[in-house]
Amino acid sequence: MSQAFVRAALASDWATVAALYGDDAVLNPPNEPAVKGRAAIQAFFAKFPPITALKFTNIAVEGHDDLAYTLGSYTMTLAPPGAAAPVKDSGKYVEIRRKQRDGRWLIAVDIFNSDLPRAPPPK
């Protein structure tokens, strides 16, 4: 599932990324309000600048019955339009997945944040 996310994100295929989330999933991005629902999650990711490199490293994957979680880290390179150079980021994530009736494990709750220092507030 993590590699399906990576392949789709590198292709800017946000419909495929969003399909990895449940209909009522919640995405908790850094420094923003929660994004609720598959359609809103797709719209959130569609605003991302092109991703030129993305790697997920799953540190722990555990579950029981119809719930599981993934704890991991990521590295990512973005190419914002008009930027002088690519932007590199690294951070961590936790996903809670729920097993669906058809056997797929969709993301129910997702949170990620960067390990990079926060920019100081504007003066």
pTM of the model: 0.89
CA distances from 47 to 10, 44, 80, 81 (A): 14, 6, 11, 12
Cβ of 11: how many Cβ atoms within 10 Å?
Answer: 11
Residue 9 pLDDT > 90, yes or no? yes
Inter-residue contact 4 to 15 (CB < 8 Å): no
What band does 118 get if pLDDT is binned at 50, 70 and 90? confident
Domain ranges of the chain: 2-114
Q: Which CATH class is domain 2-114?
A: alpha beta
pLDDT at 44: 97
pLDDT of residue 2 exceeding 90, the answer is no
Average pLDDT, integer, range 103-107: 95
Q: What is the pLDDT of residues 31-72, one digit of tens each?
A: 899 999 999 999 999 999 999 999 999 999 999 999 999 999
Under 8 Å between Cβ of 35 and 29: yes
